[in-house]
Amino acid sequence: MRPASRRRGFGTALLERVLEHNGDRELSVWAHGDLPGSAELLAPHGFQRARVLLQMRRDLDGVDPDPRPALPDDVQVLPFVPGRDEEAWLRVNARAFASHPEQGGWTAEDVALREAEPWFDPAGFLLAWRGDPDDGGVLLGSHWTKVHPAGDAADEPVGEVYVLGIDPDAQGLRLGRALTDLGLAYLRGRGLSQVLLYVEEDNAAAVRLYEGRGFARFSVDVSWRRDPR
């Protein structure tokens, strides 16, 4: 809603029309920005806060351009190889995001669609392997980076921590930190000055990791849900 059109009943009219069409089914809506007006509009109609999504950002100027993270002796980080690594990545992604309402359900088609996007760059898709991926190696985690073109997230191109996921069996190896640092260095090497990411507010471990890597909250979006009646 445009700011000049707020407090004039348009939001209520639109919401009531949506509820009429939705009937008694569950309904979720996103409010961009955690504003008091969203609660004033939605709570009286039976909506409750269900998810809070943070966008975090940091400058890349202070990123180490050549990090050398300490990795277990049998672990190596390699760029993604299309046609070879999709199945292993999907397995780890499903395990890492088993409780996530969207990310954990990705399929081979979802990956193929992104591989066809102009922004896809396998060199910025970093995979941590135990052993040789061509000879029985096991994928432990990954950091998939992305670059938004100028005018998308800012006036200039902006990098993104697109998907960072660690297999639950590899927790404790500090791979999240290592892969984050390597991905940020890659984005800095692309000549970018800023990077963003999205993370659920209640994912305390991930928020701590990113804050420890210099990220700060930039914006907040809230998902409101009304249960079936």
Structure-token pair, residue 221: 């979006």
Taking the chain (229 residues) in consecutive chunks of 10 residues, what is each chunk's mean pLDDT? 59 82 86 83 87 96 94 96 98 94 91 98 98 97 98 97 97 96 98 97 94 96 88
Closest to 64 in 3D by CA, of 211, 206, 178, 145 = 178
Looking at residue 33, its pLDDT comes to 83
Which tens digit of pLDDT belongs to each residue from 95-144?
A: 999 988 788 899 999 999 999 999 999 999 999 999 999 999 999 999 99
Length of the chain: 229
User: In the predicted model, what is the mean pLDDT of the chain?
Assistant: 92
| Domains of the chain (ranges, CATH numbers) | 56-222 (3.40.630.30)
Looking at residue 3, its pLDDT comes to 57
